[in-house]
Amino acid sequence: MAIRLGDVAPNFKADTTDGPIDFYDWKGNSWAVLFSHPKDFTPVCTTELGAVAKLKPEFDKRNVKVIGLSVDPVDSHHKWVGDIADVTGHALNFPLVADPDRAVATAYDMIHPNASETVTVRSVFVIGPDNKIKLTLTYPASTGRNFQELIRVIDSLQLTSGYSVATPADWKPGEDVIIALNVSDEDAKTRFPKGFVAKKPYLRVTPQPDRG
């Protein structure tokens, strides 16, 4: 069954490059990114895992734990990780789930049979502190993901979980945000003391509320 926004993220127990985990215990009250890659010892996946390792401090700053997954066994993961450091200059610094029986891939609907019957697509799930799904992305095997974009989305998710705002197209942290439609102009005056500009009655922009 497809995993949709707002669904509870399925818990799982699995072997990883950091040893066996219970996903919920490992995650605790943090945010998490669970992402699948199709296969070990493949070129795009190698670059992706190096890119995520490089960005780990950015995920840490945002209280986001990162975990990768492929259907390959853990001994294959252990043999492959040296290549990630060799090629990208960034050693693996987060766990990689081994999912040879595809239990996790099936629970998260990461195998799309019309793309491949045997390996996962490039799925991304951002999971909130409440263990609910906040974002899903699906890329084909042939396209590596932009993990800077994932950080940008997490900034938006974290901001909009704390304030009644939305972020516009191509928003970057520090830029103006949009006041939620269910906030009246009257309420907006008190909730957003920096003021707002109504470009349309339904499009009111205000400075990012958690910035000085």
CB of 23 to ligand BEZ, least distance (A): 24
Of 7, 39, 55, 90, the one binding ligand BEZ (CB under 6 A) is: 39
For residue 195, the tally of other CB atoms under 10 A from its CB is 11
Whether 36 and 105 have beta carbons less than 8 Å apart is answered as yes
Residue 90 contacts by C-beta under 8 Å, 6 or more apart in sequence?
A: 50, 51, 53, 54, 84
CB of 35 to ligand BEZ, least distance (A): 13
Region 96-155 residues binding ligand BEZ, contact defined as CB under 6 A? 141
CB neighbour class for 54 (10 Å; exposed up to 12, middle 13-18, buried from 19): middle
Structure token pair of residue 81? 């990780």
When binding is defined by CB under 6 A, the residue of 3, 27, 38, 183 that contacts ligand BEZ is 38
**Least gap, CB of 44 to ligand BEZ (angstroms):** 3
In the bound state with ligand BEZ, the residue whose beta carbon lies nearer, of 118 and 184, is 118
Q: Which is nearer to ligand BEZ, 46 or 208 (CB)?
A: 46
Residue-level length of the chain: 212
- Applying CB under 6 A, which part among 36-44, 57-65, 84-92, 179-187 lies near ligand BEZ? 36-44
How many CA within 13 A on the CB side of residue 180?
12
Q: Kindly state the tokens that stand for 70.
A: 């492929």
Binding of residue 76 to ligand BEZ (CB under 6 A): no
The distance of closest approach from Cβ of residue 60 to ligand BEZ in the complex, given in angstroms and rounded to an integer, is: 26
Catalytic residue positions, numbered = 45
71 binds ligand BEZ (CB under 6 A): no
C-beta of residue 116 within 8 angstroms of C-beta of residue 141: yes
Q: Which residues bind ligand BEZ (CB under 6 A)?
A: 38-39, 42-45, 141
